[in-house]
């Protein structure tokens, strides 16, 4: 005989397995779209391509070209001869509202 506790464990295990499989499939589709992304060269034609695209945005595009660092290139501690750069990010904060209940912005 199966006890109610065993049924509960079996049901929750199946529910979690289904949820994780669903999340896995969603992420696998995103990875497939990224791997199939068109490869574009960084050249004088790129601004024209971006302005001609819908919404002036190119989703999932791999850009190939030479990148020059603003100051000094980062060198890897683990792979000799491997260098990289960091993209400058711009963070724009919207209007902050004081929450008196949580005492935070």
Q: Which domain holds residue 8?
A: 4-84
In a domain, 101, yes or no: no
In a domain, 40, yes or no: yes
In a domain, 91, yes or no: no
Number of structural domains in the chain: 1
In a domain, 11, yes or no: yes
> pLDDT tens, position by position, for the chain (105 residues)?
889 999 999 999 999 999 999 999 999 998 998 888 888 888 888 889 888 988 888 877 888 888 788 888 889 899 888 888 877 666 676 677 777 887 777
Q: Do 20 and 26 touch, CB atoms closer than 8 A? A: no
Threshold 0.85, pTM exceeds: no
The DSSP line for 5-68 is HHHHHHHHHHHHHHHHHHHHHHHHHHHHHHHTPPEEE-STTHHHHHHHSGGG--SS-EEES---
Is residue 105 assigned to a domain? no
Domain membership of residue 93 (yes or no) is no
């Amino acid at each position: 005989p199966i006890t109610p506790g065993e049924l509960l464990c079996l049901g929750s295990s199946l529910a979690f397995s289904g949820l994780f499989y669903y999340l896995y499939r969603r992420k696998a589709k995103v990875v497939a779209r990224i791997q199939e992304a068109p490869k574009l060269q960084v050249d004088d034609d790129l601004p024209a391509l971006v302005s001609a695209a819908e919404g002036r945005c190119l989703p999932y595009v791999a850009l190939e070209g030479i990148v020059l660092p603003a100051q000094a290139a980062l060198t890897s501690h683990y792979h000799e001869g491997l260098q990289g750069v960091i993209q400058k990010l711009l963070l724009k904060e919207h209007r902050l509202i004081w929450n008196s209940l949580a005492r935070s912005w």
